[in-house]
Amino acid sequence: MKAPLIDNLQYCNFSEKVFRQLRAGGVDAIHVTIAYHESFREMVLNLEQWNRWFEQFPDLIMRGTTAADVRIAQETGRTAVFFGFQNPSPIEDDIGLIEIVHQLGVRFMQLTYNNQSLLATGCYEDEDMGLTRMGREVVAEMNRVGLVVDMSHSAERSTLEAIEHSTRPIAITHANPHWWHPALRNKSDTVLKALTNSGGMLGFSVYPHHLAGGTNCSLSSFCEMIAEAADRYGAENLGIGTDLCQDQPDSIVTWMRVGRWTKGIDFGEGSAGNPGFPPMPDWFRDNRDWDNVREGLGETGLSGEEVDGILGGNWLRFYESSFGAG
Spell out a b/e string for 207-236, using b for 16 or more CB atoms within 10 Å of the CB, else e. Answer: bbbbbbebeebebebbbbbbbebbeebebb
pLDDT at 73: 98
Q: How far is CA 151 from the centre of its chain?
A: 9
pLDDT at 25: 98
- Bridge-based pairing of strands 148-150 and 106-110 is parallel
CB atoms within 10 A of CB 97: 17
- Check if the beta carbon of residue 175 is closer than 8 Å to that of residue 190: no
- Check if the beta carbon of residue 181 is closer than 8 Å to that of residue 233: no
User: Which of 145, 72, 157 shows the shortest CA–CA distance to 108?
Assistant: 145
φ, ψ at 136 (rounded to 5°): -65, -40
CA angle 84, 307, 178 (to 5 degrees): 60
CATH of domain 6-322: 3.20.20.140
CA distance 325 to 85: 19
CA distance 167 to 266: 35
User: What residues of the chain score a pLDDT lower than 70?
Assistant: 267-275
Give the model confidence (pLDDT) of 182-206 as tens digits. Answer: 999 999 999 999 999 999 999 999 9
Reported as half-sphere exposure (CB side, CA atoms, 13 A), residue 68 has a value of: 1
Q: What is the pTM of this model?
A: 0.96
pLDDT at 217: 98
Q: Please provide the DSSP assignment of 280-303 as one string.
A: PPTT-SSGGGHHHHHHHHHTTT--
